[in-house]
Structure 1
Amino acid sequence: MQKEINIWLNNNPHKNKRLAKPYSDAILQQLLQNTLNTSARITIKKSKNGKPYVDEPIFFSHSNCRQLHAYVITTAHDIGIDVEYINKKRAVMKLASRYFHPKESKIISDLPTTEKSSMFFKQWTHKEAWCKLDGGNLWSYLNKLPGDEKGLFLYESDRIDGYALAIASPQKIDKIRINSIGNP
């Protein structure tokens, strides 16, 4: 059981998605090769639900928002990651009341106005990381309470200014290290 997880962050220099994707794919490829200690190209496949995987003893997840890209890789168990920009201009109460479980929506509504956006995006990243862990459809996770799920461990980081980041794991993680590639 792996007790420590590394997250790698990269500020992709390309704003255009067509240019950003190959750049991001090259970083993921290098991280996979480094983890497997090989220079051979790793073929990334997709499950029927679109979840990426490889035919190697390795698990990974990737997320991006704006130009910030986040990667997590482990050899111990499946993993999911999500990163979101905390948009303080977004109508988060409207979204929370429409998509989140009523308990979660209430938590957000009870907060001071200055804290509502941060909590909304924290909860959103939990759900999206959980979805990526399972390889499901995000819409089926939005109204679920992650705390009710047995064998699901959720972790977040507030160390990325202006962003919410979450990891979902089927096992407990003792330490999460955040590393930068380039200048995140």
Structure 2
Amino acid sequence: MAELYYMNIEDPISAEDYQTLLGTCASDKREAIHKFRFEADRKRTLYGEVLARFMIAKKTGVTMKDIEFDKNSYGKPYVKDQNEIFYNISHSGKYVVCGLDTEDIGIDIEEIRDIDLDIAKRFFHVKEYEDIISREIREQAHSLYDFWTLKESYIKFLGVGLSKPLNSFYFMINGESVQLCSQEDHTVYFHRYLLQDNYRLAVCVSTPDHIHMEKISLHDLVAYIKSES
């Protein structure tokens, strides 16, 4: 069963606790975090890293600091020396999300904002664009982000980055039903969520099992790190 944890970067955090989180990261990740100009970007990157380490540590028993990551040729991260642990991170606005499974997993979260339908016309499949513009004006934004997160979650599941164009496959959405139309010869399953009415989240997994989804606090993360000391 896949697990999904999410957290809010706007929750208050002390300088001491921030350093505790930072201390779980590898030196190159800490340097990358420091280079971000805006605090929100630093927090999204840091919290995503710590959230992944926390979930992997709970599953494997390896301490958070000792977990090592690498990337495939397309830049998709994976856990070194762990053949049955797969994870994926996504963040947008105030939310950071991490998914964990025993097989490949792809997730994407997007904050629903004012839309430019030209984006869908340029990058989405024509069938998806036609679906979006056929809807009531007030529904078009949710529809666009529904397709967007589904497509991103699928690409991240495949781990091939931008080498697979967004218009090379398409989705048909009918209520809760999602059908993927693609030349890939495999079966995947999608789960969709709406957080606080303005965040759309999609998860792509290889089995139809239920996904455990849970919000976690900074306090719980810090407490877990300290328990490993």
Short-chain TM bin: 0.7 to 0.9
Over residues 142-163 of structure 1, what are the superposed CA-to-partner deviations in whole Å (9 max), with x where a residue is unaligned?
Answer: 1021512342222211244311
Larger radius of gyration: 2
- Count matched residues: 176
Quote how far apart the aligned CAs of 1:79 are: 0.5
TM-score, structure 2 length as denominator? 0.71
Q: Which residue of 2 aligns with 1:136?
A: 160
TM-score, structure 1 length as denominator? 0.87
1:97 & 1:5 partners in 2: Cα distance? Answer: 33
Aligned identity (percent) is 26
With over 3 angstroms needed to count, the CA separation of the structure-2 counterparts of 1:109 and 1:20, relative to structure 1, is closer
With over 3 angstroms needed to count, the CA separation of the structure-2 counterparts of 1:160 and 1:132, relative to structure 1, is farther
Runs of 4+ that moved beyond 4 A: none
Q: Which residue of 2 aligns with 1:154?
A: 190
Counterpart among 18, 40, 43 of residue 16 in structure 1: 40
2:109 & 2:139 partners in 1: Cα distance? Answer: 18
Pairwise mapping of residues 30-179 of structure 1 onto structure 2 (< 5 A)?
30-39=54-63, 41-54=66-79, 55-56=81-82, 57-75=84-102, 77-87=103-113, 89-91=114-116, 93-138=117-162, 140-143=164-167, 144-146=169-171, 147-149=180-182, 150-169=186-205, 171-179=206-214
Choose between structure 1 and 2: higher helix proportion.
Answer: 2
Show structure 1 runs of 5+ residues with no match. none
Contact 2:48 2:89 in 1 (8 A): no
Contact 2:44 2:91 in 1 (8 A): no
With over 3 angstroms needed to count, the CA separation of the structure-2 counterparts of 1:80 and 1:160, relative to structure 1, is farther
The root-mean-square deviation of aligned C-alpha atoms, in Å, is 1.9
With over 3 angstroms needed to count, the CA separation of the structure-2 counterparts of 1:137 and 1:86, relative to structure 1, is same
Over residues 61-115 of structure 1, what are the superposed CA-to-partner deviations in whole Å (9 max), with x where a residue is unaligned?
Answer: 110001200111012x11100000011x221x21111111111000001000000
With over 3 angstroms needed to count, the CA separation of the structure-2 counterparts of 1:19 and 1:168, relative to structure 1, is closer
> 2:214 corresponds to which letter in structure 1?
N
Quote how far apart the aligned CAs of 1:39 are: 2.0
My pick for the range that moved more, 64-73 or 14-23, is 14-23
SS in 2 for 1:106: helix
> 2:46 corresponds to which letter in structure 1?
P
